[in-house]
C-alpha cells in the first residue's frame, strides 16, 4: 500500500475499526488464526452436545466432573512447559498435540462406534476431551494476543480480532449443519484438524512480526526469547494471592454456574424434542450459528465503543445485568422457546462483548499471569464452575426450571458487582503502568 492510499484508508480504519495502517497485516493474521481455532472447535461442538445425549443426559454432571479432573491434571503440566520453554516453541506444540488427538478420535468414531458399549465410552471420552480442548486452545490464543499487543492496542484491536473467531464460530456450525446428515459427524474431524494446522501457520507469521517489533527494544527482545520461569503451580498461586485475579476467577465461577444451568435444561429439552442424533446435532449447530452471528456484530463494531464510552466495568456488567432480567422471565415462563431465545442472546452477549472485554483485563498483568494464571482461570476454574453448577442443578431438580431460575438471580447480581470492582481495579493498574512508562 502506498503512503497516499494508507493516509486515505487511515481515517475510516481508525475511526470505525480502530486499526492503524501499520497494524493491518498482524491484525489480519490474528483474525485468521482465531477464525481457524473457532471454526475447528465449532465444527465439533455440536458433535460434543450430541455425545452428551448418547452418554445420557443424567450423566452430564459426571462428564463435567471428569473434565474438571483432567483440567486439574493438565494445568500444572502446562505451567511446567511454559516455565521451561520459549513461547515460539510451546505454543505450536499445543496445537500439534490436539491435531493428533482429533485424528485419533476420527479413528475411534470410524472403527469402534459400532458396539453399544464402545459407543458410550467413546462418546464420554470425546465430550471430556473437547471440553478441555476448547478452553486450552482459546486460552493460549488470548495469552499470546495479550503478550504481543500493548494495552492500548488491546482496547482497540481485540474486538476485531474476536470477530475473526466469531466468523469461524458462525461458519463452523453452518458447515456442520449442512454436512452432518449426508456424510456423518465423524467425517468432520479431519477438516477440523486441517483448520488447526492452518492456525499454526498463523502463529509462525505473528511470531516473526512480534520478533521484528521487539528488535527495536533490546529489553523486550530478551524477554520474549527466554521462558517464563517460575513453578508449574505458579498460575494457581498468582490467582490465590492476587485480589484482581481472584475476582476474575470468582466472576468466572458465577458465569459458568449460570451457563451450566442453561446447558442442562437445554440438553434435556432437545433430547426429548429431537430423538435422532444427527438432527440433535443440527439443532445445536443452528443455535450456535445464530448466537455467533450476534457475537460477530458485537465484536466488530460494538465492544471497542462500549469500552471507550462506558469503561471495562460497565461492559463486563452488561451480561450479568441482562441475566438477572432473563432468569426472572424464565422463572415466570419456563418453556422451550424462552430458554432457547435466552441461550442465543446470552451467548451472543458473552462472546460479542464480555469475552473481548475480559481478555483486555490481562493486558495490565505480568507475562507469567498472562499465560499461567489466565490458563488456570479459563480452564480449571471454568470447568470447576461447571462441576459446581451441574451437581447443584441436579440436586435442585425437584424444584424445576422455575425454582432454579430464581436461585440464579442472586448469583447474577453478585456477578455484576464483581464486574464493577474488576473494572475499577483495571483502571488503577492501567494508570500505574502508564506512570511507570513515563518514568522510564
pLDDT tens, position by position, 281-330: 777 777 777 887 787 777 766 777 788 888 888 889 988 998 898 888 87
Cell of 97: 498435540
pLDDT, average across residues 219-241: 64
Q: Are 280 and 37 in contact (CB under 8 A)?
A: no
Cα–Cα distance, 413 to 420 (Å, whole number): 11
10 lies in a domain?
A: no
Residue 208 is part of which domain span?
19-439
Question: What pLDDT sits at residue 309?
Answer: 82
Output the nine-digit C-alpha cell for 100: 493428533
Residue 277 lies in a domain: yes
Grid cell for residue 256: 459458568
Task: State the Cα–Cα distance between residues 370 and 193, nearest whole angstrom.
Answer: 26
Residue 241 has pLDDT above 80, yes or no: yes
**pLDDT band at residue 29, thresholds of 50, 70 and 90?**
very high
pLDDT at 225 over 70: no
30 has a pLDDT exceeding 80 = yes
CATH of the domain at 52: 1.20.1250.20
Give the Cα separation of 202 and 26 in Å (integer): 9
pLDDT at 135 over 80: no
Determine the angle formed by the axes of helices 303-332 and 243-273, rounding to 10 degrees: 50
Do 381 and 239 form a contact (C-beta atoms < 8 A)?
yes
Within a domain: 2: no
Can you tell me the distance from the alpha carbon of 264 to that of 319, in angstroms, rounded to the nearest whole number? 20
Give me the pLDDT at residue 5, please.
46
Q: pLDDT band at 8, cuts 50/70/90?
A: very low
Residue scoring higher pLDDT (7 or 129): 129
User: What CA–CA distance (Å, rounded) separates 188 from 319?
Assistant: 33
pLDDT reported for residue 172: 83
Q: Is the pLDDT of residue 39 over 80?
A: yes
pLDDT by residue (tens digit) across 254-267? 998 888 777 777 77
Q: Is residue 65 situated within a structural domain?
A: yes
Length of the chain: 440
Percent of the residues in the chain that have a pLDDT greater than 90, as a whole number: 12
In the 8-state DSSP scheme, what is residue 226? S
Q: How confident is the model at residue 146 (pLDDT cuts 50, 70, 90)?
A: confident
Mean pLDDT throughout 388-405?
A: 78
What pLDDT score does 88 carry? 63
- Residue 384, number of CB atoms within 10 A of its CB: 21
What is the 8-class DSSP label of residue 372?
I
Q: Is residue 6 part of a domain?
A: no
pTM of the model as a whole: 0.64
Mean per-residue pLDDT, 411-439: 84
Region 416-432 average pLDDT:
90
Check residue 361 and give its pLDDT: 86
Residue 15 has a pLDDT of 57
Q: Who has greater pLDDT, 297 or 425?
A: 425
Which pLDDT score is estimated for 421?
Answer: 94
Q: What mean pLDDT is reported for the chain?
A: 78
Task: Indicate if the pLDDT at residue 17 is higher than 70.
Answer: no
Q: Is residue 141 part of a domain?
A: yes
**pLDDT score of 244:** 93
Task: Give the per-residue pLDDT at 87.
Answer: 62
Kindly state whether residue 14 falls inside one of the protein's structural domains: no
| Proportion of the chain above pLDDT 70, given as a percent | 80
The number of distinct structural domains making up the chain is 1
3-class DSSP assignment, residue 20: coil
Q: How confident is the model at residue 4 (pLDDT cuts 50, 70, 90)?
A: very low
Give domain status of residue 38, yes or no.
yes
**Of 356 and 199, more confident:** 199
Amino acid at each position: 500500500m502506498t503512503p497516499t492510499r494508507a493516509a486515505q484508508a487511515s481515517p475510516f480504519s481508525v475511526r470505525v475499526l480502530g486499526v492503524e495502517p501499520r497494524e493491518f497485516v498482524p491484525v489480519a493474521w490474528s483474525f485468521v488464526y482465531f477464525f481457524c481455532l473457532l471454526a475447528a472447535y465449532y465444527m465439533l461442538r455440536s458433535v460434543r452436545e450430541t455425545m452428551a445425549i448418547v452418554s445420557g443426559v443424567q450423566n452430564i454432571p459426571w462428564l463435567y466432573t471428569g473434565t474438571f479432573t483432567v483440567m486439574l491434571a493438565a494445568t500444572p503440566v502446562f505451567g511446567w512447559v511454559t516455565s521451561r520453554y520459549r513461547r515460539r516453541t510451546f505454543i505450536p506444540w499445543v496445537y500439534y498435540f490436539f491435531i493428533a488427538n482429533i485424528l485419533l478420535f476420527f479413528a475411534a468414531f470410524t472403527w469402534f462406534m459400532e458396539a453399544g458399549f464402545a459407543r458410550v465410552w467413546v462418546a464420554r471420552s470425546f465430550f471430556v476431551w473437547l471440553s478441555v480442548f476448547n478452553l486450552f486452545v482459546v486460552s493460549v490464543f488470548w495469552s499470546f494476543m495479550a503478550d504481543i499487543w500493548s494495552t492500548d492496542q488491546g482496547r482497540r484491536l481485540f474486538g476485531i480480532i474476536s470477530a475473526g473467531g466469531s466468523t469461524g464460530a458462525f461458519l463452523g456450525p453452518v458447515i456442520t449443519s449442512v454436512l452432518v446428515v449426508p456424510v456423518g459427524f465423524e467425517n468432520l474431524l479431519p477438516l477440523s484438524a486441517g483448520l488447526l494446522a492452518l492456525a499454526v501457520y498463523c502463529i509462525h507469521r505473528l511470531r516473526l512480526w512480534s520478533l521484528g517489533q521487539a528488535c527495536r527494544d533490546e529489553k523486550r527482545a530478551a524477554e520474549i526469547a527466554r521462558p517464563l520461569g517460575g513453578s508449574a503451580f505458579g498460575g494457581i498461586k498468582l490467582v490465590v494471592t492476587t485480589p484482581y485475579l481472584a475476582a476474575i476467577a470468582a466472576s468466572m465461577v458465577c458465569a459458568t454456574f449460570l451457563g451450566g444451568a442453561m446447558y442442562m435444561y437445554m440438553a434435556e429439552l432437545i433430547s426429548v424434542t429431537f430423538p435422532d442424533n444427527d438432527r440433535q446435532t443440527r439443532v445445536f449447530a443452528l443455535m450456535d450459528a445464530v448466537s455467533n452471528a450476534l457475537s460477530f456484530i458485537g465484536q466488530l463494531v460494538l465492544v471497542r465503543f462500549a469500552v471507550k464510552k462506558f469503561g471495562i466495568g460497565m461492559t463486563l456488567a452488561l451480561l450479568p445485568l441482562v441475566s438477572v432480567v432473563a432468569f426472572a422471565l424464565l422463572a415466570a415462563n419456563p418453556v422451550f422457546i424462552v430458554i432457547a431465545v435466552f441461550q442465543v442472546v446470552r451467548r451472543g452477549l458473552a462472546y460479542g462483548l464480555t469475552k473481548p472485554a475480559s481478555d483486555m483485563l490481562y493486558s495490565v498483568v505480568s507475562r507469567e499471569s498472562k499465560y499461567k494464571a489466565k490458563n488456570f482461570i479459563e480452564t480449571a476454574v471454568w470447568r470447576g464452575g461447571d462441576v459446581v453448577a451441574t451437581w447443584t442443578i441436579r440436586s435442585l431438580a425437584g424444584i424445576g426450571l422455575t425454582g432454579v431460575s430464581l436461585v440464579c438471580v442472586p448469583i447474577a447480581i453478585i456477578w455484576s458487582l464483581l464486574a464493577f470492582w474488576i473494572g475499577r481495579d483495571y483502571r488503577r493498574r492501567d494508570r500505574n503502568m502508564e506512570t511507570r512508562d513515563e518514568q522510564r
